[in-house]
Amino acid sequence: MVNDLGHIKKIDIHSFAIGLCIGILPWSEKWNTVSIILLALLLFFNHFWSKKKVNFNIRKFLAASALFWISLIWLLNTDDNITGWKYMERISSSLVFPVVFSLTLAGLKIGLRRVLFIFMGSCMLRYLFFLAQFIDWELVYILDYWKEVLIQFNQIALTEALHPSYFTLYLGFCVLASFYFLSKAPSFKRRTGWFILLLIYFLMVVSLGAKMPLVACVFAILTGVLYNLYRIKSGRIKYVALVFSSLLIVALFLLKVPNGILQDVDNYYRFYKGEEMDRTLDYEQYGTSYSFETWSKTNRIYIWKSSAELFKNKFLFGVGTGDIQNELNNQYLMDGQEYLAKRNTNTHNQFLDFLIKFGILGFLGVIIFLWYFIKYALSGTDGFYLMFLVFVLLCMLTENILNRQLGIVFFFFFNSLFLFRKENPVCISNPKN
């Protein structure tokens, strides 16, 4: 009995430390770096103190850290070594987490629930802290005021808090985690609680106005739904009905409630049709403004056209790890996009970024390790890892997730955790229980 209690205590300590490490990320990149160092020291100390033998899986480790090695090799093709090594410093998490987790998690039974609880709680507090900074507490009981808050929140989030795309990435992951707990909940009462929490996190995602993370979140949930439908033996009709009604509620919400997402969708539609753009909302009513000139200057279509043109010129070996922004700025100037060049605008597509950096040869390496992750996720027992990959990979279509610490740490932390943790048997709940 004493040994069992000691084992439980050890599980809690390490799970809490791992959860705290990632839970700090939405608040501070600096303290997140410190927490990563402390976590590595703690896990290595535990590993060497326990003197347990590790069955090191070299194939899994190389897949998990492949981006680091590819980036390191392509430094040889770089003229701007200073920028290249700065990127290597940021991408070092793609080596640190696979090293630490591959050597230490094999001897630990990490409580994934605790890690997720800490991260979800941290994201919730970060959002509420940001929200409390600009709302007028005397007007919170007025429904129309919250419409004003929502449309202004889209605008304020661009400059006042975490980058909306990255913060939405975190909140979208919280939606997936809520779905994960919902699918495992043993009773109707608990399923109801997790469903309500899922909707709350989803509303947070909508409020930040980042389009692709919202779309990615929906597709990742649908991936989880299909995965669970394949596994459950009864209650499929009720399960599908619940999912369909939830999607209908979300669609009605987006159509009826003021938000910046509808404006961007309308802008791209009119852009493709060659029509003059028009406002979908009366912004003056909500005490804010909207600039079509700024939107047209930062239109991702222009960014992707210039990026594709640059890739054509360097398609085999790419421009190297550190030269992409200089080369991209030159391409912007050649294409008459001075505004994009002055702002050092990146490709806003992680796959285009890899193609330009590494060329076809390096990109094939990226595809191979991504396919390894997907294949491993498909062989899992709960589908959560697969949902995570679908979510992040879709987000990469419009944002360079793996260029900044906010995205690099998030992806390689959870990806390594899913790859190297010990899995526990998972019971998919039956909706009619």
CA distances from 295 to 206, 283, 318, 340 (A): 19, 15, 29, 12
Residue type, 249: I
Rounded Cα distance, 355 and 315, in Å: 7
* Same domain assignment for residues 305 and 412: yes
* Same domain assignment for residues 252 and 300: no
Helix (H) or strand (E) holding 124: helix 112-132
pLDDT of residue 209: 73
Domain around 362: 54-109+295-423
Rounded Cα distance, 253 and 328, in Å: 39
The answer to the question of residue 36 being in a domain is: no
pLDDT of residue 431: 42
Q: Give the max Cα distance, the chain.
A: 73
Rounded Cα distance, 122 and 131, in Å: 14
What's the alpha-carbon Rg for the chain, to the nearest Å? 23
* Nearest residue to 303 via CA among 397, 231, 388: 397
The answer to the question of residue 117 being in a domain is: no
* Same domain assignment for residues 253 and 334: no
Q: Over the range 50-66, which residues count as b (16 or more CB within 10 Å of their CB) and which as e?
A: eeeeeeeeeebbebbbb
pLDDT of residue 52: 65
CA 25 to chain centre: 12
Rounded Cα distance, 336 and 371, in Å: 37
Rounded Cα distance, 279 and 188, in Å: 44
* Same domain assignment for residues 215 and 311: no
The answer to the question of residue 6 being in a domain is: no
The answer to the question of residue 241 being in a domain is: yes
**Interhelix angle 164-184/384-395, nearest 10 degrees:** 160
The answer to the question of residue 91 being in a domain is: yes
Rounded Cα distance, 109 and 419, in Å: 13
* Nearest residue to 89 via CA among 110, 108, 72: 72
Rounded Cα distance, 170 and 91, in Å: 19
* Same domain assignment for residues 340 and 405: yes
Rounded Cα distance, 126 and 167, in Å: 9
Rounded Cα distance, 80 and 70, in Å: 17
* Same domain assignment for residues 226 and 324: no
* Same domain assignment for residues 359 and 300: yes
* Same domain assignment for residues 307 and 377: yes
* Same domain assignment for residues 402 and 300: yes
433 residues of the chain, pLDDT tens digit each: 334 334 444 446 777 888 888 999 999 888 888 988 888 888 777 767 766 666 677 888 899 999 999 999 999 988 889 999 999 999 999 999 998 888 777 656 667 888 899 999 999 999 888 877 777 777 667 766 666 666 666 555 555 556 778 889 999 999 999 999 988 888 888 888 998 899 899 888 887 877 888 889 989 998 888 887 776 666 666 667 766 777 777 777 666 666 666 777 777 777 777 777 777 666 666 666 666 666 666 678 889 999 999 999 888 898 989 899 999 999 999 988 888 888 888 999 999 999 999 999 999 999 999 999 999 998 877 789 999 999 999 999 989 999 999 999 999 999 999 988 765 433 334 444 3
* Same domain assignment for residues 414 and 327: yes
**What is this structure's pTM?**
0.86
Please provide the distance, in angstroms rounded to a whole number, between the alpha carbons at the two ends of the chain.
34
The answer to the question of residue 190 being in a domain is: no
The total of structural domains in the chain comes to: 2
End-of-domain residue from the set 198, 228, 257: 257
Q: How many CB atoms lie within 10 A of CB 118?
A: 20
* Nearest residue to 96 via CA among 149, 140, 32: 32
Rounded Cα distance, 60 and 54, in Å: 14
* Nearest residue to 346 via CA among 361, 368, 367, 324: 324
The answer to the question of residue 120 being in a domain is: no
The answer to the question of residue 400 being in a domain is: yes
* Same domain assignment for residues 347 and 406: yes
* Same domain assignment for residues 306 and 408: yes
